[in-house]
């Protein structure tokens, strides 16, 4: 079959974005847009692409769920022995991307990560469904596994081990907060004339806002 990818196109006509529509604070603007996307009923509104870079400068991406916004920081959780965690330990720079196709919007966030406290991680971990807690114990994230059955065997072992009482927090499981220094809001526009606004944090803590060419 011959692929005709160059013929796949559509126009973006759902809205425009002007400077006077923006909050002075990008996190407040993000929360407004997130709520609007959630109101559509679209699945996985908090799904975000997380980009990290290894010691050789090789970028890597994966989908992670945003779990909280605290004091202007974006929070997510992960296995601390995963590829992303190992790369963040050497290079704390990170980029997040929210692709809200249904409403023709995107948000890109650049910042630095800091590990969350054990108390914060434990509080969230204990709020998860028990099966998700067991899955954290069963999966050595990012490590090779020969078959899915081997993974399911690990899950069964964890289920048996922690059959009674609460599932304890694994030492290898944690979370991060992302402190942004750059945030971009993208609204699709007709004829590829998209609206883009970039927030950049200044030394005095204020945010500079500028429109970017599409």
pLDDT bracket for residue 5 (50, 70, 90): confident
DSSP conformational letter for 14:
S
Is 65 annotated to bind a ligand? Reply is: yes
DSSP conformational letter for 46:
T
The model's pTM is: 0.94
- In this predicted model, what pLDDT tens digit does every residue of 108-158 receive, in sequence order? 999 999 999 999 999 999 999 999 999 999 999 989 999 999 999 999 999
Higher per-residue confidence, 67 vs 8: 67
- In this predicted model, what pLDDT tens digit does every residue of 33-87 receive, in sequence order? 999 999 999 999 999 999 999 999 999 999 999 999 999 999 999 999 999 999 9
Give 12-121+173-211's CATH code, choosing from 3.30.70.2740, 3.40.50.920, 2.30.110.10, 1.10.1740.10: 2.30.110.10
pLDDT bracket for residue 1 (50, 70, 90): low
Sign of CA dihedral 188, 192, 195, 197: positive
Is 117 annotated to bind a ligand? Reply is: no
Domain extents for the chain?
12-121+173-211
Is 78 annotated to bind a ligand? Reply is: yes
192 classed as catalytic:
yes
Residue 137's φ and ψ, nearest 5 degrees, are -70, -35
HSE on the CB side for 12, CA within 13 Å?
20
Residue whose tokens read 């048996």? 160
What mean pLDDT is reported for the chain? 96
pLDDT at site 4:
87
Catalytic-labelled residue, pool 19, 32, 148, 192 = 192
Is 32 annotated to bind a ligand? Reply is: no
Around Cβ 45, how many Cβ atoms within 10 Å? 19
Is 193 annotated to bind a ligand? Reply is: yes
């Amino acid at each position: 079959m011959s692929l005709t990818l160059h013929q796949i196109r559509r126009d973006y006509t759902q809205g425009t974005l002007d400077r006077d529509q923006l909050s002075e604070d990008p996190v407040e603007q993000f929360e407004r847009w997130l709520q609007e996307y959630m109101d559509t009923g679209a699945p996985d509104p908090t799904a975000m692409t997380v980009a990290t870079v290894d010691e050789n400068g090789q970028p890597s991406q994966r989908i992670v769920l945003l779990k909280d916004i605290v004091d202007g920081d974006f929070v997510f959780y992960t296995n601390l022995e995963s590829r992303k965690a190992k790369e963040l330990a050497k290079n704390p720079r990170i980029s997040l991307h929210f692709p809200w196709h249904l409403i023709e919007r995107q948000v890109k966030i650049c910042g630095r990560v800091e590990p969350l406290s054990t108390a914060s991680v434990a509080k969230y971990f204990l709020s998860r469904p028990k099966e998700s807690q067991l899955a954290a114990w069963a999966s050595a994230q990012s490590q090779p596994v020969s078959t899915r059955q081997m993974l399911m065997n690990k899950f069964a072992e964890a289920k048996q081990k922690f059959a009674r009482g609460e599932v304890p927090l694994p030492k290898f499981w944690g979370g991060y907060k992302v402190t942004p220094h750059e945030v971009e809001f993208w609204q699709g526009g007709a004829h590829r004339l998209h609206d883009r606004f970039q927030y950049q944090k200044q030394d005095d803590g204020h945010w500079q806002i500028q429109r970017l060419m599409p």
